[in-house]
């Protein structure tokens, strides 16, 4: 049997340490006697056996092929060790020591190649959105790849090598600042003390650098800037040279690199999505909400993975700091438009999509995070939005809303309806549905929601139609009833009434006529639930102050 001796155990072909072999060697199955001789088995002496002795062994063990080691070599037998030359004992002992050291170091994860961690932290299916970029390099000069514009060297008109050079320069400057701060540590307090000589020299240097800057661009520079803008458009950052002083430009570059490094840390921590443009969470008032579906927010916001929103004006922001500054000067405490309903701390505002376009667009983008079938985002002018809020001493907080067309040819009284996740399963959804039918009654119309309904929307509407029908049948004292009368009394579309009766098994066909069965068991169950629930979450028609808009 021929023994392969291309490389020694524990080393790879390129001279680097093979940690996988050393880690797996302990688990190789071998006879008990072979385990005792593991220190001298894989040696050069056993690999230098004569061809004659190998041929004899091949003839003896022709029918049984010995198992191979993780390196591909066949383990030597005890007879191979006995024919080892005594002159190689010293070399055998040295190799055995090296092998034992490698086995001891097999458990140290620091010996593993860095490329393994590299593969774990990067998703190579993602690509940088900048045209012509191969996703290599990073603006900070500290990472091998990037997947967003904020870390793209090409977008910032730089190369990967230039970014690495700038990173080394920044590190040297940081070390110099640290050294200078240590020299000033002997000063007991820097407050209310005169600046040091070093600080004065630095101030003079910065002043001189800013004084040397030209006030305007020359003709060649203007042409270069225009050519760059026409060639790349918004896919590249504008040329920033000669716009400000070199010192201020370098400060701006440092801020860009620092922000890009912070985003990269968030991405590795799983708080920033990689190229999927999927917002995972939103900070809304005192709540942090997990999103359900994708919403077409601008790419620069969607790639962050988390948005911060003002719960009153619905403006979306990138960070907690921006939100805090916005809330300090935001004057909104309730939705725009007219307050048409108020009872207790519950209010409903009518917002015209034409008069308050930005607010309605932000409301639609917010709703798409929790609705699958919503397709309206920016064309909000033909719609009216009815926003329900819950008031406290800080303002009117968004509970939910529904929208309807100003002129619906199919008499849809709801185009889109949403209850915010933090207010779900509290009765607010049925209040919104009841309010939409209350408006239909005032308009003297029969309404129905626009299809298709979401899963949660269909459940809510089925539950509402069931309660309306059971309440009507409980109060009905006559013997004959018609679907048309129920529809006129409740403003529910006849098609919805029939489908609900069929689901409750209260509609039968007998002797050529359709009969409505008054199931007392269902009515009794409904009355028990109503008594237990109370009258907390209901719409009071007398609290509505509204007239139908003109043209509807």
Distance CA 146, CA 129 (A): 10
E strands of 395-493, at which residues? Answer: 395-405, 412-414, 416-419, 448-449
* Owner of token pair 């090409």: 154
In degrees, to the nearest 5, what angle opens at C-alpha 202 toward C-alphas 198 and 205? 140
Residues 6 or more apart whose CB falls under 8 angstroms from that of 501 comprise 469, 507, 516
What does the alpha-carbon distance between residue 279 and residue 288 come to, in Å, rounded to a whole number? 12
C-alpha–C-alpha distance, residues 306 and 466, integer Å: 39
d(CA 425, CA 429): 8
Distance CA 111, CA 108 (A): 6
- Residue 399: partners with Cβ closer than 8 Å, 6 or more residues away: 346, 388, 389, 390, 419, 420, 423, 428
Nearest-5° Cα angle at 391, 388 to 396: 65
Asked if 65 and 106 count as a contact pair (C-beta separation under 8 A), the reply is no
What does DSSP say about strands 338-343 and 448-449: parallel, antiparallel, or unpaired? unpaired
Rg (C-alpha) for the chain, rounded Å, is: 38
Of the candidates 282, 325, 324, 287, the one whose C-alpha atom is nearest the C-alpha of residue 304 is 282
Residue 31 in 3-state DSSP?
coil
Element (H, E) at 528: helix 520-533
Contact indicator for 136, 145 with CB cutoff of 8 Å: yes
Sequence-distant (6+) residues with CB within 8 A of 349 are: 334, 335, 336, 337, 338, 339, 340, 386, 387, 389, 396
Q: Is 162 a catalytic residue?
A: no
CA 77 to chain centre: 58
Q: Which of 450, 480, 489, 530 is catalytic?
A: 450
Give the whole-angstrom CA distance, residue 404 versus residue 382: 9
| Active centre residues (catalytic) | 450
């Amino acid at each position: 049997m021929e023994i392969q001796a291309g490389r020694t155990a524990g080393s790879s072909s390129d001279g680097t340490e093979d940690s996988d072999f050393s880690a797996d060697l302990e688990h190789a199955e071998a006879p008990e006697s072979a385990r005792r001789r593991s220190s001298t088995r894989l040696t050069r002496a056993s690999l230098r056996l004569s061809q004659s002795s190998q041929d004899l062994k091949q003839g003896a063990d022709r029918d049984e092929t010995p198992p191979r080691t993780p390196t591909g070599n066949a383990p030597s037998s005890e007879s191979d060790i006995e024919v080892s030359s005594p002159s190689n004992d010293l070399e055998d002992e040295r190799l055995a020591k090296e092998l034992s050291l490698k086995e001891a170091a097999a458990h140290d994860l620091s010996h593993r190649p860095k490329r393994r961690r590299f593969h774990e932290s990067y998703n190579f299916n993602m690509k940088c959105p900048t045209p012509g970029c191969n996703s290599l390099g990073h603006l900070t000069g500290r990472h091998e790849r990037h997947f967003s514009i904020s870390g793209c060297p090409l977008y910032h008109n730089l190369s990967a090598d230039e970014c690495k050079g700038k990173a080394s320069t920044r590190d040297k400057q940081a070390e110099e600042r640290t050294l200078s701060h240590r020299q000033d540590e002997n000063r007991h307090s820097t407050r209310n003390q005169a600046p040091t000589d070093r600080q004065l020299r630095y101030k003079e240097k910065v002043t001189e650098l800013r004084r040397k800057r030209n006030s305007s661009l020359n003709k060649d520079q203007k042409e270069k800037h225009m050519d760059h803008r026409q060639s790349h458009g918004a896919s590249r950052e504008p040329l920033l040279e000669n716009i400000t002083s070199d010192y201020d430009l370098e400060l701006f570059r440092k801020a860009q690199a620092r922000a890009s490094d912070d985003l990269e840390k968030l991405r590795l921590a799983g708080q920033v999505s990689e190229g999927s443009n999927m917002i995972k969470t939103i900070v809304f008032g005192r709540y942090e909400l997990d999103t359900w579906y994708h919403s077409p927010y601008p790419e620069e916001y969607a790639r962050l993975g988390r948005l911060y929103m003002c719960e009153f004006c619905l403006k979306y922001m990138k960070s907690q700091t921006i939100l805090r500054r916005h809330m300090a000067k935001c004057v909104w405490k309730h939705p725009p438009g007219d307050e048409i309903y108020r009872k207790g701390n519950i209010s409903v505002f009518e917002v015209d999509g034409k008069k308050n376009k930005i607010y309605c667009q932000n409301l639609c983008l917010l709703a798409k995070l929790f609705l699958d079938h919503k397709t309206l985002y920016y064309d909000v002018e033909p719609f009216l939005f009815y926003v329900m809020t819950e008031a406290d001493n800080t303002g009117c907080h968004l509970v939910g809303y529904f929208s309807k067309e100003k002129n619906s040819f199919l008499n849809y009284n709801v185009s889109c309806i949403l209850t915010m996740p933090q207010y779900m399963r509290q009765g607010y959804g049925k209040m919104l549905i009841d309010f939409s039918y209350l408006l239909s009654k005032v308009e003297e119309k029969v309404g129905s929601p626009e299809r298709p309904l979401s899963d949660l929307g269909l459940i809510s509407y089925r539950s509402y139609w069931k309660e309306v029908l059971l309440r009507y049948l409980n109060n009905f004292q006559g013997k004959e009833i018609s679907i048309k009368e129920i529809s006129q009394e409740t403003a529910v579309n006849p098609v919805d009434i029939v489908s609900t009766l069929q689901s409750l098994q209260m509609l039968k066909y007998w002797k050529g006529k359709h009969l409505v069965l008054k199931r007392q068991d269902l009515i009794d169950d409904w009355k028990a639930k109503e008594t237990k629930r109370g009258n907390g979450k209901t719409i009071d028609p007398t609290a509505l102050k509204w007239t139908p808009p003109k043209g509807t």
